[in-house]
Amino acid sequence: MRDAERRIANLTEALAKVGWSEALATKLREEEVQLGELKAEHAAASRDADRSAVVVPHPTAIAGYLKNLFTLLETDSVRGREILSRFVAPVVMTPEVEGQARRYRGTGAFNLSFFLRTPSSPTGKSGCAGRI
């Protein structure tokens, strides 16, 4: 935009010094149109950047939110589930069978299956005890 504005200023100055010239006037109009397009693009990009700017809370704030959620789930599970459902898509439990072994894979907005594996378990697997 600065370059376009500089070119317009130069063309305007040239018209002032030389006088009217159809070629200079045409070039001036072209530069003004280009400057208008650049300004519109810049304004659109600024609006998009403002919309996409996401402020991430501090980790201690997130830990506080989770503590409050866990407390709410333990004290008032119905309300806790309602609040949690606003942020997490429904979890779908899909049975998986391999030979004699039968297990379920929980999927949804987030893949929570990594929570089901604990290093203390000999197989690296554990159950959720129905608390998803």
Q: Considering the entire predicted model, what is its pTM?
A: 0.36
Do residues 34 and 60 share a domain? Answer: no
pLDDT at 52: 62
Do residues 83 and 118 share a domain? Answer: no
Do residues 7 and 44 share a domain? Answer: yes
Range of the domain at 8: 2-52
SS (HEC) of the chain: CHHHHHHHHHHHHHHHHHCCCHHHHHHHHHHHHHHHHHHHHHHHHHHHHHHHCCCCCCHHHHHHHHHHHHHHHHHCHHHHHHHHHCCCCCCEEEEEEECCEEEEEEECCCCCHHHHCCCCCCCCCCCCCCCC
Structural domain total, the chain: 3
Do residues 7 and 39 share a domain? Answer: yes
Q: Digits of tens for pLDDT over the chain (132 positions)?
A: 888 888 888 888 887 888 887 888 888 889 899 999 999 988 888 877 666 666 677 888 877 877 887 788 888 888 887 877 776 777 778 888 888 888 888 777 654 444 444 444 444 444 554 555
